Structures are given as C-alpha cells and as structure tokens.
Structure 1
Amino acid sequence: MSGQTLTDRIAAAQYSLTGSEVARAVCKATTHEQTAPKKKHLEYLIEATKESNVNIPQMADTLFERATNASWVVVFKALITTHHMMVAGNERFLQFLASRNTLFNLSNFLDKTGSHGYDMSTFIRRYSRYLNEKAFAYRQMSFDFGRVKKGAEGVMRTMPVEKLLKGMPTLQSQIDALLEFDVHPNELTNGVINACFLLMFKDLIKLYACYNDGIINVLEKFFQMKRGQCKDGLEIYKRFLTRMTRVSEVFKIAEVKDKPNNTLYC
C-alpha cells in the first residue's frame, strides 16, 4: 500500500478546519501507508511538547484516539509516534502518560484483514505492553531509565541500597516487556515494524547500560547489605544472568538487519 488513503486526507482536513495543527500532525504521522511515520511530522510533534501553550493531555488523547483505529498500520504508527515523543519530547509528556491509570488498552487488538493484519496485531499487543511498562517505570522511579546519566557517576551506579533494590526490579520488568516483543529477522517485513524495532533496540541499549550499572552497584554494596537485602540482591543478579542470552539475541537481529541488503531503516 502506497500513498495516503482518502480516509487519511479527510481526517487531516477535518483537523485543519478545527485549527488543531498538533492533531493534524498526529493524523499525518499515523496514515495508512505501510512506512515509518514521516520525520517532519515526528519532529513537529516533539517540538510541540516543548511549547508551554500546547495542551499535552489533548495531544495524548489524539494519539490514544488513533490507537483505537481498526487498521493495524494506523495503530502501530500511533504507538511508534508516542514512543518517539516519550524518548525525545519534553519530559512533561512522559510525566502525563505516567500519571494515567491506563495508557494503551490493546491486549485484545486484532486486525482481521488478511494474514498480514493477524501477524502485525501480535506485535502491536506486545509493543503496547512495553510502552505501558515504560510509563509505569517512570511513575515508580520519577525518572526515565533511558534519559538518566550512565557510567561510574551515573544514577544507577550511585543509587543508595534501599532505592537500588526497589528500582532494579522495575528496570527488569521494563526490559522483560521489551524482550517479549520477540521478533525474528524474517518478521521484519515492512517499514512500520522496522521503525518499531529500531526504537526498541535503541531503548534496549540505554536500558542495558542502566542495568549493567545497577548490577555493578549491587555487587559493590553486597557485603554491606543486611541479610534480607543480600537475598534480594542475589535474586536480582540471578535474573540479570538469565536475561543476557535474550539481550544478545536482539543485538544479533539488529546486526543482521543493519547489513546493506536489508531494510531496517525503511
């Protein structure tokens, strides 16, 4: 499928008539075209989150509305657009999402229009769960693991024991939700799912850096911990080891798809 559909054009025109440029940009970013959301629309929305006169709840509601569409393409692109804004937008956008009791309720989403719809619906359900977990982690920690400072002076490396032992399971849950996307190279068949995978891969790099910092901190403080804390710390370390194989598998997929003859960046 190429080019915007008549439905896309009508929706964009309706938003133009109401004077909502933000809503129009959301609509343009989430067309029925089986390609990644266009960069110019994403950049507009990201910049809009930084404007004090932009209504963040209204912006989010427009994205949520697009995520209720029957088409897997529109819903997937609504999730991708939201993800871009969570990563690169003003933090108040992520703060608002984290303040909601529910974000995306897509656990039963299914586009029955052909086998491609069935296949992509599976990944939409998994992806929405990850974004929900990302927002929940922010609510729990009051910061985004992807944005914090990493390394020897980083947040997870210098975190006090009590907060560390509470924060690491939250980080592990977010990583688990990401790994449960569980896509294989032969399933990265169009620009939409490729755009999603690229975003999640970039998240994984940042989350893994935090995870590694946290584990180093746990090990360095292990012999200073109380008995109960030692038990929690050991459990965190065991979980870390079991996740390493799955993390390396995602890196291998990215390596395969990043070769010149492949199309990860479509």
Structure 2
Amino acid sequence: MSGQSITDRIAAAQHSMTGSAISKAVCKATTHEVSGPKKKHLDYLIHCTNELNVSVPHLADTLFERTANNSWVVVFKALITTHHLMMYGNERLIQYLASRNTLFNLNNFLDKGALQGYDMSTFIRRYSRYLNEKAMSYRLVAVDFTKMKRGVDGVMRTMNVEKLIKTLPIIQNQLDALLDFQANSNELTNGVINSAFMLLFKDSIRLFAAYNEGVINMLEKYFDMKKNQCKDALEIYKTFLNRMTKLSEFLKVAEQVGIDQGDIPDLTQAPSSLLEALEQHLASLEGRKIKELSTRNCAYPDLNGSLLNRFEMCTSWVING
C-alpha cells in the first residue's frame, strides 16, 4: 500500500475540525503509507514537547491510541515517532513516559491481514519492549544514558563504586533489549523498519559509550574494592565482554545496509590477560589458590597501566552529536 489511505485522510480531517493540531500531526506521522514518519510532522511534534502550554500526557496518549490500530504500518510508525521524540524532544516527555505504570503492551500484536504483516509484527513486539526498557531505565536512574555527559569528567567516569555496581546492570538490560531487535540486512525491507533500525543504531552507539565509560571507571577502582564488590564487578565485566560480541554483530548489519563506516566504531576484543588479572585478584581475596597468569608479566598493578590502556583503546571511540 502506498500513499495515505482514505482512513488516514478522514482521521486528519476530523482532527482539523476539532482543532487538535497535535492529534492531526500524530495522525499524519503514522499513516498507512509504507515509509518512515515524515520529518515535518516529527519536527512539529518535537516543537510541541518544548511548548509549556502543550499537554505531554495528551501527546503521549495520542501516540498510544495509534498503537491500538490493527495495521502493522500504523503501529510501527507510532513507536518510531515515540522513539524519535524520546531522543530529540524535551526531556519532560521521557519523564512522563517513565512515570507511567505501563507503556506499550504489544507482546501479542499480530497483523494477519497485510503484506509483511507477520514478519513486521515480530519486530514491533521487540521494538516496543526496547522502548519500555528505555523508559524503565530513566525511571530507575532519572537520566537518559544516551544523552548523559561523556568523557573523563562525565557521569559514568566519575561515579562512585556503589552507584556504578547498581547502574551498569541497568545499562546492560537496556542494551540487551535493543540488541534483541535482531534484524538482519535481508529483513530491513521497507522504509518503516529502516527508520526504526536507524534510531536503534544511534541509541546503540551512545548507550554503549556510557556503558564502556562505566566499565573503565569500574576497572580503575577494582583493586580498591571490597570482596563482594569485586565479585559483582567481575560478573559485570564478563557480561560486558559478551555484549561487545553481540554489539559487533548488530554493527555488521548497520554496515551491510549502508550506514557510513565512519559512523560505525571498530570494536576489538579486550585482552584476555585483563580478565585473568581480575579473576586472580578476586581469588586472592577469597583465599583461593592463585594460578599463574598466561601472560606472566601482567601483574595486578598493571591494570592501571598498559592493560587498562589497551582495554580503553579496544573499546573507546569519539561520538559526535
């Protein structure tokens, strides 16, 4: 189906008659046309989030209403519009979304009556779970990980040990939900899912940057931690290594669909001797026998020297925008 349907035109006309400019813009952003939401409608809705006389709950409810539609195109575009506003709109929108007890309830969504309906419904269910997790992360820490200040004096690099150990698993959960989208290049077959994938790609880069900086901070503090903190930190680091592998697979898809290689970080596996050093230190705290490191000259203090430097080189990159 191409172009706006008769239903789309009627709905837009009704909103024009009732004077609801927000509802009309949401309707136009979420038509049955198999392409991403138009920029002019997204820009207008972003503008609305910055206007104090605009009701954010009304805007959110209008988007939620569109996800009750039977068409995968309309529902997908409503999720994309919501995600776009979470990324580029005023923070009070994500604050409101995070305050709700429920967000998107699309775990059973299935469009049986349209071309690509079955395939796209699968991605709608996964995408909605990610947006739910993104809002939940904000609810737990009152900050959007994709927008926080980065760098040596950034939020994650200056966080204390106790808060790091609580915050890093929240980032892990959000990244897990994002990577669970699991689209390969052959499944990115239309402008709707491609728009969603681009937003996920942008989130993945910024989210992993915050994750990475938190892990660097944690490693710098590791040898000064208490035994239980070391145990938690070691598990967080092992999970981090696994996420690096999954993110690399996600980024390969981004490369295959034509995203500029300059925008895609090159992730290199961290040295195995670093994990060994962490395990050896925890073993010593627990009074267990310490086996020799496979790299003999990698003593514990080296974590703050060449080993950590190598880790940062493997996982750090500059993100613009």
TM-score (norm 1): 0.96
Question: 3-state DSSP class of the match of 1:32?
Answer: coil
Does residue 1:15 correspond to 2:15, yes or no? yes
Cα distance in structure 2, aligned partners of 1:259 and 1:119: 23
- Unaligned runs of at least 5 residues, structure 2: 261-321
TM-superposed CA distance for 1:113, in Å, is 1.2
Does residue 1:67 correspond to 2:102, yes or no? no
Q: Please give the residue correspondences for 1:30-69 in structure 2 after superposition, counting only pairs within 5 Å.
A: 30-69=30-69
- Unaligned runs of at least 5 residues, structure 1: 261-266
Q: Could you list the per-position Cα deviations for residues 36-78 of structure 1 after superposition, in whole angstroms to 9, with x for gaps in the alignment?
A: 0000000000110000000000100000000110000000000
Does residue 1:107 correspond to 2:113, yes or no? no
Q: Please give the residue correspondences for 1:1-266 in structure 2 after superposition, counting only pairs within 5 Å.
A: 1-114=1-114, 116-258=116-258
Question: 3-state DSSP class of the match of 1:158?
Answer: coil
Does the 8 A contact of 2:157 with 2:216 survive in 1?
yes
Larger RCO: 1 or 2 (CA < 8 Å, sep 6+): 1
Cα distance in structure 2, aligned partners of 1:13 and 1:153: 51
Cα distance in structure 2, aligned partners of 1:153 and 1:2: 49
Comparing 217-226 with 231-240, greater Cα deviation is found at 217-226
Residues 1:161 and 1:259: Cα distance change in structure 2 (over 3 Å)? closer
Question: 3-state DSSP class of the match of 1:199?
Answer: helix
Identity level (%)? 67
Code of the aligned partner of 2:116: H
Question: 3-state DSSP class of the match of 2:84?
Answer: helix
TM-superposed CA distance for 1:202, in Å, is 0.3
Greater Rg over alpha carbons, structure: 2
Q: Could you list the per-position Cα deviations for residues 78-97 of structure 1 after superposition, in whole angstroms to 9, with x for gaps in the alignment?
A: 00000000000000000000
TM-score (norm 2): 0.80
Q: Could you list the per-position Cα deviations for residues 124-152 of structure 1 after superposition, in whole angstroms to 9, with x for gaps in the alignment?
A: 00000000000000000100001101121
Match of 1:264 in 2: none
Does the 8 A contact of 2:71 with 2:114 survive in 1?
no
Cα distance in structure 1, aligned partners of 2:76 and 2:149: 30
